[in-house]
Amino acid sequence: MKLTCMQDNLNRGLSIVSRAVSARSTLPILSNILLSTDNGRLKLAATNLELGITTWIGAEVEQEGSITIPARLLTDFVNTLPNEKVHIELTGGQKVRVSAGHSSADIHGMDPEDFPVIPTVTDEPTVRIEPGLLKEMISQVAFAAASDDSRPVLAGVLVKLENGSLTMAAADGFRLAVKEHEVDVDATGISVIVPAKALDALARLIGDAEEAVEITVTPNRSQILFHSENVDIISRLVDGNFPNYNQIVPKQHETRTVVDTQEFLRATRRAFIFARDSQNVVRLQLEPGDDLRPGRILITATAAEMGSGADELQATIEGTGGQIAFNAKYLADVLAVVSTGQVALETQTANAPGVIKPIGNGSYTHVIMPMHMANR
Amino acid sequence: MTRTILHVDLDAFFCAVEEQRDPSLRGKPFAVGGNAEGRGVVSSCSYAARRHGVRSAMPMVRALALCPHLLCLPTRFAAYRASSQAVMQRLGALTQMVEQVSIDEAFLDVSDIPEPGEVLARRLQAQIRDELGLPCSIGVATNKLVAKVATDVGKASARCDSPPNAILAVPPGTEAAFLAPLPAHALWGVGAKTADRLAALGLRTIGDIAAWPPASLESRFGKYGRTLSHHAAGIDDRPIITEHTPKSVSRETTFARDVTDAETLQRTVHAQATDVGRRLRRAGMVGTTVKLKLRWSDFTTLTRQASLPQPSAHDAEIAAAAMRLLNQLWQTSVPVRLVGVGVTGLGSPPRQLSLWEVERPVSTERDLRLQSTVSELRDRYGYQLVRWGSEVPQT
């Protein structure tokens, strides 16, 4: 293998595939990046067996070939090189010389034959989704998935394509995010659970891509492949049944509070400063208005023996009002991804789920379970 | 509306429980309390012992001097707690308006029950005696203060070797007349110091206090002076507090001999932290601040406190904070007379509700389960049944 490419292209390619490099693995080769020539380009690939990322960069290929190199070493070295032409050459015995300008490195690689095969696009039916929409849907849903793997189904996002509508849903047990969107595709009957980490990686890597993302599920339904401009992401699918979230979303409410999204978010973040020292508890007091004054939300949090914070927001409150306490993080998480100017909070009692809905966008629903405050 | 308040006080409670265990103790002078060899005091003494002048809170050594045949029994708190709970359960069956004041004492508001208070009192006394074998005295009045004084007066008028089993009812409207001839210190809340100050004014009976101008008392005793006037006139509108919210939970130990070695101190602090944690968990509370109290042999007392990173009722977290304070405060070989651990800043722990009401496995959940199991075992079979390794002295 012998080739030349530009430092900035190589650097960018390495940073893309690095997301899939296994930080700690019992399989040493998973800490490596696979480099191989591919139709006059340089292909970079990494996998941790859950998630695989492949990307291609332009190169002048003199001699075909492939090798795997320790990811960290290569990435760090290339990152320090000047933005010039970088020469990569296999010098025999799994050794690679990487050089640019007056700098060069000889790096010990490992046999590419030992690197796990990362599947690429096949002839399976493909769904094409506009990248901006995909990114938005992931940003509104994936954060609600569980961050630990103790229940893999909850660490995943349900991706469902049915009757011309794409649905994503995630629930970590304390909150639920559901986003639906009309899509102009024929394919139907796809319902898979994708690890939230894979979707997060996808959302970042789509970047400003303009071409539609092609989505393919492998025939045995064990893996999903996302193909974007110059990047392929393949992820293992989670085996299991996603909880029936329709049962969780309350069908009615006692109180409906409509408030400015950004004001609500800022007030919640301020309360969080105090709440983080007392189990993240923020209390909302919802006071309906009357003929003389508008309704208001009082947002308070107390850090034991340190102090407390309070915010008062004007709001349109229909119904009985009342008090409810939430984990400030959950509340801030959802408000941060609501893109409309106003947001509605629908509540029943202090121990019943609260529902957040953007005003003027019926396709997003977020349910948060409150904190139960024992009587003092 | 006129209220009817009962004050129920178990007669020589610890002794009554001991007599139940060992009927041969009946009629004999005996006391329950700390070891006579050290600085133990009398927690409770039988009526036969009282005739010899033995009283509660008296050093055991002094009690033995007054009554050389006195039998000294160690305290068995687990048994007393169990009996106390059985009594409180019966009180609770009569009315929900029960305020437990201590292990052997409670107020009941029976205003809503049409029967006269005295009839209720007789029935309750009989029930506690027949079902639990425990004697008690009951005061009946229109408020807590007079009911309590009535119990005390009833008990004092019974003079024999057996429990008083007194019942005294003060009819509505006669409160002031009932209190008037009694000495000032019989008034709830009047201690030796206040009694001395009142005596200096020539006020020896409760009637004297009631007749004294309230303004004059207020100028001398401040806000308490006004309360004093009211109480002396038999006026007390404090409600029955059914749920008691403690401000702190603590545990102190006075050593039989001053302690100079680190191991004993650490073991004691650890045991105290464990006990405090257990009581917090039972009350369903968490605390934010751990306090350590140390008293040197010259009675100099130091208190230091530290905040916990999270409100907690966890033994290990309380113990760790207490241990750090101990290391800061105590220099090796300084003799320690008393050590105590407490937790303040109490509150209820908020709980995140789950979408499916399935709790997320928390790393400490197993721990908390283990601790509550240990607590239950100790409550039923005594503290010594299960011990942490660190509590076992090295041999």
Please report, to the nearest 10 degrees, the dihedral formed by the alpha carbons of residues B57, B61, B65, B68 taken in order: 100
pLDDT for position B363: 38
Cα Rg, chain B, nearest whole Å: 24
Chain A, residues 203-232, CB within 8 A of chain B, namely none
Task: Report the alpha-carbon distance of residue B8 to residue B107 in Å, rounded.
Answer: 6
Closest CA to B151 of B190, B115, B105: B105
Q: Is residue A120 part of a domain?
A: no
How many whole angstroms separate alpha carbon A79 and alpha carbon A6?
12
Cα separation of A42 and A64, whole Å?
Answer: 10
Q: pLDDT tens-digit profile of A157-208?
A: 999 988 888 999 999 989 999 999 988 776 667 899 999 999 999 999 987 7
Share of chain B above pLDDT 90, in %: 40
Which CATH number covers residue A239? 3.10.150.10
Span B248-391 CATH architecture: 2-Layer Sandwich (3.30)
On whether residue A87 sits in a domain, the answer given is: yes
Look at domain B1-172 and name its CATH class: alpha beta
Per CATH, domain B177-232 is 1.10.150.20: yes
Residue of B nearest to A374 (CA): B348
pLDDT band at residue A305 using 50, 70 and 90 as cut-offs: low
- What 8-state DSSP symbol labels residue A26? S
Domain end, chosen from A217, A246, A275, is at A246
Judge whether A178 is closer than 8 Å to chain B, CB to CB.
Answer: no
The verdict on A258 and A331 lying in the same domain is: yes
* A270 shares a domain with A240: no
**Is the domain of A254 the same as that of A346?**
yes
Report d(CA A174, CA A272) in Å as an integer. Answer: 18
pLDDT at site B360: 37
Burial A130-153 (b: 16+ CB within 10 A, else e): bbebbbbbbbbbbbbbbeeeebeb
Its ipTM equals 0.82
d(CA B43, CA B13): 10
Q: What is the pLDDT of residues A95-114, one digit of tens each?
A: 999 999 899 999 999 999 99
Give the closest of B307, B348, B360 to A305, CB-based.
B307
Q: Kindly determine whether residue A304 and residue B347, on different chains, have CB atoms separated by under 8 Å.
A: yes
For residues B246 and B346, is the Cβ–Cβ distance under 8 A? yes
A190, A258: one domain: no
Q: Looking at the structure, do residues A228 and A131 belong to the same domain, yes or no? A: yes
CA angle B333, B339, B342 (to 5 degrees): 140
End-to-end CA distance of chain A: 73
Residues A107 and A133 in one domain: no
Q: What angle do CA B284, B288, B290 make, to 5 degrees?
A: 105
Other C-beta atoms lying within 10 Å of the C-beta of residue A113: 7
Q: The pTM is what?
A: 0.56
Angle, vertex CA B185, rays to CA B182 and CA B189, nearest 5 = 120
Residues A82 and A23 in one domain: yes
**In a shared domain, residues A107 and A189:** no
Would you call A369 and B288 a contact, using CB atoms and an 8 Å cutoff? Answer: no
As a whole number of angstroms, the distance between CA B238 and CA B229 comes to 15
Query: Do both A133 and A180 map to the same domain?
Result: yes
Q: How far apart are CA A224 and CA A201, in angstroms?
A: 14
C-alpha separations of B392 from A157, A177, A360, B80 in Å: 52, 52, 67, 25
Query: Does residue B4 contact residue B124 with C-beta atoms inside 8 Å?
Result: no
Of A305, A353, A372, the CB nearest to B351: A372
Note the pLDDT of residue B37: 72
> Which segments of chain B belong to CATH 1.10.150.20?
177-232
Take residue A203 and report the two structure tokens written for it: 């959302």
Cα–Cα nearest to A285, from A246, A322, A335, A329: A322
Per DSSP, B347 falls in state: B
Residue range(s) defining the domain that contains residue A67: 2-114
B105 catalytic residue (yes or no): yes
Do A169 and A61 share a domain, yes or no? no
pLDDT digits (tens, 9 = 90+) for B311-330: 778 888 899 999 999 999 88
Tokens (6 digits) for A138: 């992931």
B355·A369 Cβ contact <8 A = yes
Report chain A residues whose CB lies below 8 A from the CB of B245: 376
Residue A23 within any structural domain of the chain: yes
Using only C-alpha atoms, chain A has a radius of gyration, in whole angstroms, of 25
Separation CA B323–CA B301 (nearest Å)? 17
The CA distance from B356 to the nearest CA of chain A, in Å, is 7
Summarised one tens digit per residue, pLDDT across range B17-27 is 999 889 999 88
Alpha carbon distance B199, A237 (integer Å): 87
Total domain count for chain A?
A: 3
- Determine the distance from the C-alpha atom of residue A305 to the mean position of all C-alpha atoms in its chain, rounded to a whole number: 37
How much is the average pLDDT of A313-317? Answer: 95
Chosen domain end from A89, A114, A139: A114
Q: Which two tokens stand for residue B298?
A: 């010259």
**Token output for B162:** 């057996």
Render pLDDT for B151-181 as a digit per residue (tens, 0 to 9): 999 988 876 677 889 999 999 999 999 999 9
Structural domain includes residue A122? no
The DSSP code sequence of A59-73 is: -EEEE--EEEEEHHH
- Summarize pLDDT for A198-216 with one digit per residue, the tens: 999 999 998 778 889 999 8
Residue B204 has pLDDT above 50, yes or no: yes
Residues A242, A263 within the same domain: no
B18, B19, B99, B105: the catalytic one is B105
- In this structure, are residues A44 and A14 in contact, taking their beta carbons and an 8 Å threshold? yes
Portions of chain B given CATH number 3.30.70.270 = 1-172
Lowest-pLDDT range of A216-220, B11-15, B151-155, B355-359: B355-359
